[in-house]
Chains A and B, each alone.
Chain A
Amino acid sequence: MTTTTIAAPRSGPPRRGRTTGRSNYELYAWVFMRASGVLLLVLIFGHLFMNLIDGDGIKAVDFGFVAGKWASPLWQVWDLLMLWLAMIHGTNGIRTIINDYAERTGTRVVLKSALYLAFTVTVVLGTLVIFTFDPCPAGAPSDLLPSFCTG
């Protein structure tokens, strides 16, 4: 009588791709959406109050208004934080929407490439603007500039 040996289940060679490809990326993204969401609520409500409610609201917003705000390190940090958090939060949201609705791999790759390009351009541009902003550009008419340029 011959005995048939049956391999124990799941005893084959370890499948490398599976373990090395696993990460907690989606968990961190999920946590980030909630943590940044709380901060963005404060940052954006403050931004909307300053720019749309306080004083004459949107009617008061011009170059001098922006220069006056960015003369304070508080609003520079505020806007920088808001830019980065909102862009990462929004980009991750759109990434989720693309993953949900774009069924073909090629479509997802194209859409996400465009998304990450828009993210990079917007974040780099916005950051440069905040750090290289000149409130008193030479040759600009003084009535368009904040009062501290002439003082």
Chain B
Amino acid sequence: MPEAPAGTLYRGREGMWSWVAHRVTGFLIFFFLLVHVLDTALVRVSPEAYNAVIGTYKNPIMGLGEAGLVAAIVLHAFNGIRVMLIDFWSKGTRYHRVMLWVVVGLFVVTMAFFLPRHLGNVFGGE
């Protein structure tokens, strides 16, 4: 792939793919949010109804889904900070590639902390 011309932050390589990842994760998180407000609204129906639906969040398949959801949120959050630094920090555009790898590093560290804890809760015996 030829080197992108200077000054085109969003064309090719890190700049473009992080933009794609930001869109995809944001899109997925939004639809989970709609579902999540609906399931939480069941507290207004009855304790039994809420517990029945939230019980499905505790099975292993949903547990893996939650891990994916948290991964999407963490990546979107950290890359969002990167977008703000690109927009507001005078040197942001110069360091946008480095900052993406910092985002990826922080993402890996956060997930390395979260996943054992969460998957332990989901798959741990009672």
Contacts and interface: CB of A to CB of B under 8 A. Distances in A.
Contacts, number: 105
Interface string B56-71: 0110000100100010
B58 A129 contact: no
Most buried by A among B43, B51, B122, B126: B43
Interface in A30-59: 34, 37-38, 40-41, 44-45, 48, 52-53, 56-59
A39 B122 CA distance: 29
B84 A63 contact: no
Contacts of B46: 137, 140
Contact of A90 (B33, B44, B80, B121): B33
A62 B27 contact: no
A102 interface: no
Interface residues of A, number: 42
Nearest to A57: B121
Contacts of A34: 83-84, 87
A126 B117 contact: no
Contact of B66 (A38, A52, A128, A133): A52
A87 interface: yes
Given A34-B84, A34-B87, A144-B47, A53 B117 contact: yes
Contacts of B77: 37, 40-41, 44-45
B121 A125 contact: no
Contacts of B26: 90, 93
Nearest to A119: B34
A134 B45 CA distance: 10
B44 A58 contact: no
Given A41-B81, A62-B51, 8 more contacts: A41-B77, A48-B70, A53-B118, A62-B54, A83-B37, A94-B30, A122-B37, A140-B46
Closest 10 pairs between A and B when the two form their complex, measured CB to CB:
A57-B121, A63-B47, A90-B30, A144-B47, A126-B37, A37-B80, A41-B77, A93-B26, A63-B50, A129-B41
Interface of A: 34, 37-38, 40-41, 44-45, 48, 52-53, 56-59, 61-64, 66-67, 83, 86-87, 90-91, 93-94, 97, 118, 122, 125-126, 128-129, 132-134, 137, 140-141, 144-145
Interface of B: 23, 26-27, 29-30, 33-34, 37-38, 40-41, 43-44, 46-48, 50-51, 54, 57-58, 63, 66, 70, 73, 77, 80-81, 83-84, 87, 114, 117-118, 121-122, 124, 126
